[in-house]
Amino acid sequence: MSAITLEACITPSRSAVKPLAATKGSKPKRQLKGDPDLPDYVAPEPKTNMDRREWDRMSSRMEGFHSYFRLAFKQLFELSDGSFEKRGLSVRDFMGVAEDFHEHLGFHHGIEERHIFPVLAKRMPQFAVEHQEEHNAIHEGMDKLQALIAKYRADPSSYSPDEFRANLASWGPTLFYHLNEEVESLKPDVLRRYWTLDEVRKLPM
Domain boundaries defined on the chain = 54-202
Does residue 161 have a pLDDT over 80?
yes
Residue 29: CB atoms within 10 A of its CB come to: 15
Residue 202, CA atoms < 13 Å, CB-side half-sphere: 5
Does residue 112 have a pLDDT over 80?
yes
Q: What is the pLDDT of residues 49-96, one digit of tens each?
A: 999 999 999 999 999 999 999 999 999 999 999 999 999 999 999 999
Rounded CA-CA distance 93/153 in Å is 9
The per-type count for the chain, helices as H runs and strands as E runs, is 8, 0
Between 29 and 173, where is the model more confident? 173
Between 14 and 179, where is the model more confident? 179
Classify 5 as helix, strand or coil.
coil
CA dihedral sign, ordered 8, 127, 141, 79: positive
Does residue 151 have a pLDDT over 70?
yes
* Contact criterion met (CB below 8 Å) for 142 and 61: no
> Which amino acid would we find at residue 108?
H
Residue 141, CA atoms < 13 Å, CB-side half-sphere: 21
Q: What pTM was estimated for this model as a whole?
A: 0.84
Residue 168: CB atoms within 10 A of its CB come to: 25
Domain range 54-202, CATH class? mainly alpha
